């Protein structure tokens, strides 16, 4: 999720395939090509990503040995071409590329905000990769205005050197198995981390994890791949219930520092304590992290290949959980936009976005999801954007007034329900509803960017499903972990 979440109004939310019986803690299958180059453990590179709107720096901080490498042992070089950034690992002697991974970051969002124009920001980041047996060269790259990656930083590490911390991982909290389906190397390993839960709430946390991951794994394309997911929960108790909410003057010393109001956006929830989080998370094998926090107030966030956050007790918690996981796991963009949001837009869309579910439609003949568009569906695809915007402007005005008045969650949820009763039938009446096309208005832009369907869980809270383009993009990411 990018920052324009000033518009966060929409941040706003099984058929298991045949599979051998669960094999908890089963060993990973033998992979000779992988074994020749890697030790089988995970190496973590911690650094600080800092800068302003016009300059950007990477400052290495530490190298840390973690447990077993949980990712694929055959799909090591990332061919998805997702992410604002890319991390690459080369063998120093032969220059062979050993590993790569696209990602997005808090820094990458922060640099587009107003404060980046007048001062510096600095953020903890980490990259995890299979520990090479020989000295390696690491590179961080950023996607430029031309859409291709350019190197930002390069450095060397000898994994066998004294500069890699090989001490035992600190014990923090309790790892609780929720679903164990097989070896980490051939499964997607989800780790749901508690924040803002007191010790007495352990049972509630486990129930929250089960409830929300059950919804996720009943949603396509996760449902048909449910047997390829392992789910674990990390419970770390905090002394006080809940997380910080600066707009209401509420401050909490929670385990992982989650807070509302990230980038001054009321319902955007992030933490800036990434290293603390990584040290604790390393106690379990994981490919994807979701931070679940014990709050009644609506909120969350999701950044590609970083993590997702979600409030457990808000009425649309299931929506938030699935929607934010779409960002963090699949690199999906928000498909919503708001006609009256004053975020900082360049207004020019002459480069195709990397996000798989948004297009600038520069050449309809080359639309990246063209194979899903029926010949009878025009591109761009007509829809009543004027009518929709009129409805949205009225809603945004009500919502802003409620935030200003510090309205209750019950009042704000009532407004969300009211919007749903209008916008769901409105979109369902569209002549091309349910068809894949290119509908103008997406990713915080009313004009110039297009989404694949009239509605999708990345667009509104109406549907409980992803559009066909989002579903396929997520399926491709699942494949990259389980093949």
- Cα distance between residue 363 and residue 356, in whole Å: 16
Residue 43 burial by Cβ neighbours in a 10 Å radius (0-12, 13-18, 19+): buried
| Smallest distance from Zn ion to CB 428, Å | 16
Q: Which is nearer to Zn ion, 7 or 192 (CB)?
A: 7
DSSP 233-284: EEE---SSSS-BBGGGTB----SS--BS-GGG-TTB-B-S-HHHHHHHHTTS
- Mark the segment that binds Zn ion (CB under 5 A) among 33-41, 153-161, 430-438, 457-465: 457-465
Four-point Cα dihedral 346, 350, 352, 357, nearest 10:
60
Measured from the CB atom, the residue of 399 and 472 that comes closer to Zn ion is 472
Q: Does 312 bind Zn ion (CB under 5 A)?
A: no
Residue 7 Cβ vs Zn ion, minimum distance, rounded to whole Å: 17
Interhelix angle for 202-216 vs 317-330, to 10°? 70
Least distance (Å) from Zn ion to the CB of residue 381? 14
Stretch that binds Zn ion, among 155-163, 228-236, 301-309, 448-456 (CB under 5 A): 448-456
Q: Beta 300-303 vs 307-311: how paired, if at all?
A: antiparallel
Which range, of 184-192, 208-216, 435-443, 464-472, touches Zn ion by CB under 5 A? 464-472
Minimum distance from CB of 378 to Zn ion (Å)?
19
Q: Which helix (H) or strand (E) is 301 found in, with range? A: strand 300-303
Interatomic CA distance for residues 4 and 2, integer angstroms: 6
- 372 binds Zn ion per the rule CB under 5 A: no
Q: Choose the binding region for Zn ion from 81-89, 101-109, 289-297, 461-469 (rule: CB under 5 A).
A: 461-469
Q: Which of 467, 474, 477, 478 binds Zn ion (CB under 5 A)?
A: 467
Q: Minimum distance between the CB of residue 470 and Zn ion, rounded to whole angstroms?
A: 3
Give the whole-angstrom CA distance, residue 466 versus residue 457: 5
Shortest spacing between CB 336 and Zn ion, in angstroms? 10
Q: Residue 176: which of 43, 97, 292 has the closest Cα?
A: 292
CA-angle at 315, arms to 310 and 320, nearest 5°: 30
**Which one of 65-73, 145-153, 242-250, 451-459 is the stretch in contact with Zn ion (CB under 5 A)?**
451-459
Which residue of 470, 473, 477, 478 would you call a contact of Zn ion, by CB under 5 A?
A: 470
- Name the token pair of 238: 């905090």
Phi, psi of 94 (to 5 degrees): -95, -10
Burial label for 397, CB within 10 Å (0-12, 13-18, 19+), is: exposed
Separation between Cα atoms, residue 153 and residue 168, nearest integer Å: 29
- Which CB sits closer to Zn ion, 289 or 470? 470
Q: Which window, 179-187, 216-224, 265-273, 459-467, contacts Zn ion (CB under 5 A)?
A: 459-467
Does the footprint of Zn ion cover residue 456 (CB under 5 A)?
yes
Q: List the one residue out of 192, 211, 216 whose CA is nearest residue 464.
A: 216
**Between residue 267 and residue 286, which ones bind Zn ion under the rule CB under 5 A?**
none
Q: Which string of x and - marks every residue 342-361 that binds Zn ion (by CB under 5 A)?
A: ---------------x----
Pick between residue 285 and residue 356 the one whose CB is nearest to Zn ion: 356
Q: Which of 458, 473, 477, 478 binds Zn ion (CB under 5 A)?
A: 458
**Closest distance to Zn ion from the beta carbon of 417 (Å):** 22
Closer CB to Zn ion, residue 183 or residue 452? Answer: 452
Name the residue nearer to Zn ion (CB basis): 245 or 357: 357
Residue 136 or 470 with smaller CB distance to Zn ion: 470
In the bound state with Zn ion, the residue whose beta carbon lies nearer, of 128 and 451, is: 451
Distances (CA, A) of 312 to 71, 127, 288, 318, 419: 28, 28, 18, 8, 22
Nearest CB to Zn ion, comparing residues 116 and 456: 456
First to last CA, the chain: 27
Residue number, 71 or 326, with CB nearest to Zn ion: 326
The residue ranges that bind Zn ion (CB under 5 A) are 357, 456, 458, 467, 470
């Amino acid at each position: 999720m990018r920052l324009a979440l000033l518009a966060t109004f929409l941040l706003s939310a099984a058929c298991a395939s045949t599979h051998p019986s669960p094999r908890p803690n089963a060993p990973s299958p033998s992979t000779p090509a992988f074994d020749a180059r890697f030790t089988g453990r995970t190496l973590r590179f911690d650094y600080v990503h800092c800068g302003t709107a016009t300059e950007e720096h990477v400052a290495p901080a530490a190298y840390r040995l973690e447990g077993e490498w949980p990712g694929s042992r055959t799909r090591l070089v990332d061919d998805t071409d997702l992410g604002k950034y890319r991390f690459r690992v080369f063998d120093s002697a032969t220059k062979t590329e050993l590993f790569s991974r696209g990602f997005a970051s808090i820094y990458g969002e922060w640099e587009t905000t107003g404060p980046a124009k007048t001062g510096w920001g600095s953020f903890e980041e980490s990259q995890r990769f299979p520990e090479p047996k020989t000295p390696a060269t690491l590179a961080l790259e950023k996607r430029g205005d031309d859409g291709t990656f350019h190197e930002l930083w390069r450095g060397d590490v000898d994994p066998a050197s004294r500069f890699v911390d090989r001490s035992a991982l600190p014990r923090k909290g309790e790892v609780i198995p929720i679903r164990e389906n097989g070896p980490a190397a051939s499964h997607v390993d989800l780790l749901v981390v508690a924040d803002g839960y007191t010790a007495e709430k352990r049972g509630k946390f486990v129930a929250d994890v089960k409830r929300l991951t059950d919804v996720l794994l009943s949603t396509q394309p996760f449902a048909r791949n449910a047997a390829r997911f392992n789910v674990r929960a990390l419970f770390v108790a905090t002394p006080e219930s809940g997380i910080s909410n600066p707009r209401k003057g509420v401050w909490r010393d929670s385990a992982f520092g989650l807070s509302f109001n990230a980038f001054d956006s009321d319902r955007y929830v992030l933490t800036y304590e990434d290293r603390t989080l990584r040290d604790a998370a390393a106690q379990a094998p994981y490919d994807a992290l979701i931070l679940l926090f014990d709050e009644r107030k609506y909120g969350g966030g999701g950044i590609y290949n970083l993590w997702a956050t979600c409030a457990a007790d808000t009425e649309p918690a299931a929506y938030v959980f699935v929607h934010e996981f779409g960002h963090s796991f699949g690199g999906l963009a928000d498909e919503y936009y708001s006609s009256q949001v004053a975020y900082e837009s360049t207004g020019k869309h002459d480069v195709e976005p990397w996000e798989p579910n948004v297009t600038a439609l520069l050449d309809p003949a080359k639309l990246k999801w063209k194979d899903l568009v029926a010949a009878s569906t025009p591109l761009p695809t007509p829809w009543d954007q004027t009518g929709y915007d009129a409805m949205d402007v009225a809603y945004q005005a009500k919502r802003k007034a409620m935030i200003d008045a510090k309205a209750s969650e019950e009042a704000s949820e009532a407004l969300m329900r009211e919007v749903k009763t209008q916008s769901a039938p409105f979109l369902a009446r569209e002549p091309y509803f349910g068809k894949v096309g290119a509908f103008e208005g997406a990713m915080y832009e009313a004009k110039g960017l297009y989404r694949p369907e009239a509605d999708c869980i990345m667009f509104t809270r109406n549907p409980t499903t992803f559009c066909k383009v989002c579903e396929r993009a997520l399926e491709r990411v699942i494949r990259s972990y389980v093949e």
